[in-house]
A and B are shown apart, each in its own frame.
Chain A
Amino acid sequence: MLITGLLAGVEAGLNRALRLDGTALPRLQALAGKVIAVQCQSPALELFILPSGDGLQLASQWHAQADCTLTAPAASLARLALSREKTAVLHRPEVSLDGDSAVLLQLAGILQDLELDWEYEISRWLGPVATTLLAGHLRSRVNLASHGAASLKQNLADYLAEESRALVGQREADARFAELDQLKLALDRLEARIERLTSANKSDA
């Protein structure tokens, strides 16, 4: 019952978010009637997803055959939920798909393409003028913050690799790794030659 309650809460929140995207629900309608089973290996949990034109229905059990079963460890499922490149996660070796995988790929595509119109939701509460002002303000702040974060990341990397020499830069590391690879190959060749000479020496004796 606890899991049922939890899923009911998640489902309500998820469907509210899906309604903010103008195209998500019509696209989900195309998947209506399909049952997707998600089996988490560690910890062992099972979740059923039933898409419809009203959104997604989540269930802890479903007494009918699933159209598609996704089996993966919890880490991969979390990555699948959070990553923007969902199809890339689905192609990892620890993730297995049984049944009609097109259903899951379509659902992943819909969730990946989500563009939530949060301005519409805010405008229902604040009105159009206030929403435009607030959205413009928020957007400029978000842009500023993301530029600041990118710049900080770049400067920090440059300082640590080039100025303080506390870390090795990516290109320098790549060059060293290439040299190590060469050395390893030369060593392998030398080892093989010694092996050959030793066996030739033994046969002469």
Chain B
Amino acid sequence: MSDPRKAHEQEPTTHFGFQDVPESQKAEKVAEVFHSVAAKYDLMNDVLSGGLHRLWKRFTIELSGVRTGNRVLDIAGGTGDLTRKFASIVGPTGQVVLADINDSMLKIGRDRLLDKGVAGNVQFVQADAEKLPFPDNHFDVVTIAFGLRNVTHKEDALRSMLRVLKPGGRLLVLEFSKPGNPLLAKVYDTYSFSFMPLAGKLITNDSESYRYLAESIRMHPDQETLKAMMVDAGFERVTYHNMTGGIVALHRGIKP
């Protein structure tokens, strides 16, 4: 008979911010963070990025090359910023699926889109990026904006995204990355570990979630590592664009 405590000790660990936690607990802990911040997620995005997140997402849409009639999957779509734009571009003959693992975020995204009259060509699906519940070769474009760093097994998630993409389909990963300039990196570190938890405390009364945000950004693979991961997963012509000095990077890969 195997000892369950021993089995627990042997379980592989992963990072949750700067902490090491058993892999089975990461999704639960990330979910707690997003349940906590969901209500004021958009406001915090605007405050913490100074509105720049809108430009980063805008650039993602420009690079997606989405057309009328396309099928788009917006993973970790949260409050539906990208989905709203995609829904307008793909039109009634296309389809956009807003997927998020967190039901609080998904509910807020769904309510917000319905309030803005976005309906008909949008579906809302609670799904894990590692095990996407969609058929093979189904989507023309898959995007994941500020979501990949919260996924426990990033390689599995990338392979899952490759599976659901049609051949020639594009994956766009918008994520925090590593600033190229050391001076900017220093300023960014100070900002992340001092201002972000303070703003979290003042606006959402939750500094820990924003400390996790800053820590998770530091633990996320840098531009070249993520590019190599996408190539390993099977993507071709993988390129990335640094934005705001590399604080955010947009990776793009094509399914062969």
Contacts and interface: CB of A to CB of B under 8 A. Distances in A.
Given A4-B55, A33-B91, A64 B65 contact: yes
B59 A4 contact: yes
A32 B91 contact: yes
B115 interface: no
Size class of the B contact interface (CB-based, 8 Å): 20 to 34
B99 to A, nearest CB: 23
Contacts of B85: 57
B67 A33 contact: yes
B88 A53 contact: yes
Interface residues of A, number: 19
A1 B89 contact: no
Contacts, number: 46
Nearest to B85: A57
Main SS at interface, chain A? loop
Interface string B56-67: 001101111111
A120 to B, nearest CB: 20
Contacts of B243: 1
Task: Give the dominant DSSP class at B's interface.
Answer: helix
B88 A63 contact: no
Contacts of A59: 58, 61-62
Contact of A4 (B62, B64, B65, B91): B62
A156 to B, nearest CB: 49
B123 interface: no
A61 B58 contact: no
B54 interface: yes
A8 interface: yes
16 contacts: A4-B58, A8-B54, A32-B91, A33-B69, A33-B91, A35-B67, A52-B88, A53-B88, A57-B85, A59-B58, A60-B62, A61-B62, A62-B62, A63-B62, A63-B65, A64-B67
